[in-house]
Amino acid sequence: MRRVAVIGTGHSKFCFNSPKTSLEMLAEVALDAINEANITPRDVQAINVGNVLGPFEEGQGMIQSFFANDIGCFNVPASRFEGACASGSMAVRDAVLLVASGYYDIMLVGGTEKCTAMSTGLATRTFSMYGDSRYEFPSGFTFPAVFALLAHLYAKKYEIPLAALKEQMAAVSVQSHEYAMKNPNAQIHKLISKEDVLNSFMVSTPIQLQDACPFSDGAAALIIASEETARRLVKKPVFFAGVGQASSGKLSSQYKYLPQLHAREVACQQSYRMAGLTPKDMDLCELHDCFSIAAMIAAEGLGFFEPGQSGWAWEKGETRLGGKIPINISGGLKAKGHPIGATGVSQVYEVTLQLRGDMVEQGRQVEGAKYGIIDTLGGDGVLLSLIMTNQ
């Protein structure tokens, strides 16, 4: 298979109540990516789009086709990927494989979502469609509830008093808000304290409002190309070193591994193996912190910390710039925002810019970074793992 690189990027500001449609948000960042890659829409051979709830947000299905037309990519094959919050990363992985195979040389990958077009009640209802509708939704399944169940399991299994665990969870949120201050694309530019987290509205015990990411609008786009094409078009291509994806069933069916998600280990082992790298080789990580406990579980599943240990790592600053493994220096889903179809593409955008050394101005560059890993979780079952490098 050929090496594949990101050669163009675009990213909207993530926000509440965007005045633009999902398609407009995506078209704008797609043209930014096209311009950065020194190509025109006519050079794009195929398009992959992550979009999850378009039908509920704007009554719009099949957005990828209308989007392709709007940006002048007339008649190219355009596919929509739907894997809940991992949709964008799925769209990226498939494009990488299609270009690696030699079938295409240049693809556009985008993700867009307008979650805040829905009321909070409708958003909560539609998000819960990404759990098992027959056997688990009837019990009142919501995603805060899923991670709340995992938080209590985590406290019990690793023998961490709940009060101590809640402080660790708060430390995750506090760090994300700090780094979001430096990210102009972040939805939330507001510092919070541990006390703010612990005093926030109780959503689903033990998860409080400030343990959770917001509903968000936003879009991100990438141009990806074969190595030969990439070297012809841009000075600093950033390559995919490894990709992985795995699925799982309803939450209760994963009981042998909970609170860890086995599919994450399967997915990241695929990407580590393909890259010939280990967790120790990673210089930075963007992971799926839809809830603070989700971030802790992810950091352990990816191999950065022993199970039950990552909370202390956050408290000690090992996840900050200069720490053992800088995690979510973008502000993460928590403070950068989580427009679900765009999230995976946004994570790749972040790691690409870090590996190009383009984050110096924003004051959040991981010095000398060579390898970055992206982890995205869709619902309680789709896991994506992508490793990128500037080497």
DSSP 204-262: ETTEEGGGBPPP-EEEEEEEEEEHHHHHHH-S--EEEEEEEEE----GGGGTTTTTS-H
- Minimum CB separation from another protein for residue 131, in Å? 9
Only one of the segments 34-42, 131-139, 317-325, 360-368 lies at the binding site for another protein (rule: CB under 8 A); that segment is 131-139
- Over the window 155 to 184, marking each residue x when it contacts another protein by CB under 8 A and - when it does not, the resulting string is xx-----x----------------------
Only one of the segments 99-107, 135-143, 265-273, 333-341 lies at the binding site for another protein (rule: CB under 8 A); that segment is 135-143
Q: Is residue 253 close enough to count as binding another protein by CB under 8 A? A: yes
Looking at 149, 169, 174, 261, which residue binds another protein (CB under 8 A)? 149
Q: Is residue 135 close enough to count as binding another protein by CB under 8 A? A: yes
Only one of the segments 124-132, 167-175, 224-232, 298-306 lies at the binding site for another protein (rule: CB under 8 A); that segment is 124-132
For residues 31-51, one letter each, b for 16 or more C-beta atoms within 10 angstroms of the residue's C-beta and e for the rest, the string is: bbbbebbebebebbbbbbbbb
Of 113, 114, 117, 142, give the one whose Cα is nearest residue 130: 142
Q: Are 185 and 217 contacting, i.e. CB atoms less than 8 angstroms apart?
A: no
Comparison of 128 and 328: residue with beta carbon closer to another protein: 128
d(CA 128, CA 139): 11
Angle formed by the axes of helices 162-180 and 143-157, nearest 10°: 130
Comparison of 32 and 136: residue with beta carbon closer to another protein: 136
Catalytic residue among 11, 177, 288, 338: 338
Q: Is residue 148 close enough to count as binding another protein by CB under 8 A? A: yes
Continuous segment of H or E residues that includes residue 109 = strand 106-114
Q: Is residue 381 close enough to count as binding another protein by CB under 8 A? A: no
Q: Are 70 and 112 contacting, i.e. CB atoms less than 8 angstroms apart?
A: no
Q: Are 339 and 115 contacting, i.e. CB atoms less than 8 angstroms apart?
A: yes
What amino acid occupies position 294?
A: A
Q: Is residue 203 close enough to count as binding another protein by CB under 8 A? A: yes
Q: Is residue 152 close enough to count as binding another protein by CB under 8 A? A: yes
Only one of the segments 132-140, 216-224, 307-315, 365-373 lies at the binding site for another protein (rule: CB under 8 A); that segment is 132-140
φ and ψ of 8, to 5 deg: -155, 145
Question: Is residue 85 annotated as part of the catalytic site, yes or no?
Answer: yes
Cα 269 vs. chain centroid, distance in angstroms?
Answer: 18
Which spans of this chain sit near another protein (rule: CB under 8 A)?
119, 121-122, 124-129, 133-142, 144-145, 148-153, 155-156, 162, 201-207, 249-253, 255, 258
Q: Catalytic residues, which ones? A: 85, 338
